[in-house]
Amino acid sequence: MISELEVIAGIKEGREEAYRYVYEHLYKMLCMVACERVNDRIAAEMIVSDVIFSLWQNRQSLVIHTSLRGYLIKAVRNRCLNYLTQTERRISLSQSCDHSEAVYTQANVCSETPLTGLIEKELDLKINACIEALPPQTRRIFCLSRFKKMKYEEIAGQTGVSVDTVKYHIKSALTRLRAELKDYLLPLLVFLLSP
């Protein structure tokens, strides 16, 4: 029977049998810990795989003061918290986008006045300029998502990048657009909500 100290030493040295031990003896238990937190089996498996991959990436600087099992459980719990926080942010962003779409729809309904038409044109120009200023790969991925209504997996297949890379580019584009358009949203809201 291999000891935890031998497994930790094997991980630091990059020995395959140490990682096999982690997968064979700890993977299922770690997935159960993650699933209890995130309540999603697939997400739990991804989280555990990420933790174990991170263990491999950072093996040379690895310092474990507790048991390997305790260390991995703590790492999985922390990764679960990050996942839940990101999920919450995505939901919040989605609701924010839904709200913005409702405001935009209302602006279209109210666009009979010259001032509204002018604001609308200026906002369209600003949005287009922001999209054009994005890096080429980010712009392409963002446009496929928003204008072609393609799913992340479809975009990944078409562009030859991973789904995580697609998510990164879309998040990057939305962050830049939000920052660039913040000055336009408040005046538009004030105008639309004023009697």
Residue 89 has a pLDDT of 74
Task: Give the Cα separation of 43 and 33 in Å (integer).
Answer: 12
Instruction: Match 């729809």 to its residue by tokens.
Output: 105
Report the C-alpha dihedral over residues 128, 134, 135, 136, rounded to 10 degrees.
-20
104 vs 181, more confident: 181
Indicate the helix (H) or strand (E) that contains 187: helix 163-193
Rounded to an integer, what distance in angstroms lies between the CA atom of residue 124 and that of residue 42? 40
- Give alpha helix (H) positions in 110-162: 114-133, 136-146, 152-159
Please report which confidence band the pLDDT of residue 97 belongs to, taking 50, 70 and 90 as the band edges: low
Strand ranges, E, within the chain: none
Considering only residues 173 and 194, tell me which one the structure prediction assigns the higher pLDDT. Answer: 173
Residue whose token pair is 């991973």: 162
Local confidence band at 12 (pLDDT 50, 70, 90 cut-offs):
confident
pLDDT in tens, 31-47: 999 999 998 888 888 88
pTM confidence score: 0.47
